Amino acid sequence: EDAVSLQSGVIKDPTGLYIKGGRAYETGYVVDGVSAQDPLAGTGFGLDLGANSFSNIEVITGGVGAEYGDVTSGVVSVKTRNGGDTYEGSFSHKRDNFGSNVMDNQANYFQDIYEFSIGGPGVLAEKILPKLGLDIPGKISF
């Protein structure tokens, strides 16, 4: 959400993202080609993915194609990362108060966000399941 709000034509406030002056529910959210739109609120960031899980974020602010459905102001399309041949992981900690304990500071929400990710080859599908007599075609990674 923070990376998207830095794009031209996008405004972020506590109620959502606004693209090209449209309302928050007029923006489409797509993750790996699947709609992530909340059917009740109309917003799309109910799905909370860590920043390390993205490989590509695309913001379409005009000329939205019919494949995105009922979208009038813009589309936020996210591609997630694929696993590779080696194991890798990451950990991050983010906070907004920088150690300050001043309660009347309007810029602080006193949030601590921890993210952990791990990826690599699909050991379960490639080694364990074939020993049990189950064969899954193709290459699987997580």
The predicted-structure confidence for 34-82, as pLDDT tens digits, reads as follows: 888 777 766 665 666 777 778 888 888 877 888 887 788 888 888 988 7
In this prediction, residues 87-112 reach a mean pLDDT of: 68
pLDDT band at 101 (very low <50, low <70, confident <90, very high): low
Run of H or E including 129: helix 129-131
Please indicate whether residue 3 or residue 140 has the higher confidence score (pLDDT).
Answer: 3
For residues 95 and 80, the model is more confident at 80
Length of the chain, please? 142
pLDDT (average), residues 122-136? 70
pTM: 0.65
Q: For the stretch 7-24, what's the b/e string if a residue is b when 16 or more beta carbons lie within 10 angstroms of its beta carbon?
A: eeebeeeeebbbbeebeb
Domains of the chain as residue ranges with CATH:
2-80 (2.170.130.10), 88-131 (no CATH)
d(CA 45, CA 22): 17
User: What integer best gives the mean pLDDT of the chain?
Assistant: 75
Give residue 25's identity as a one-letter amino acid code. Y
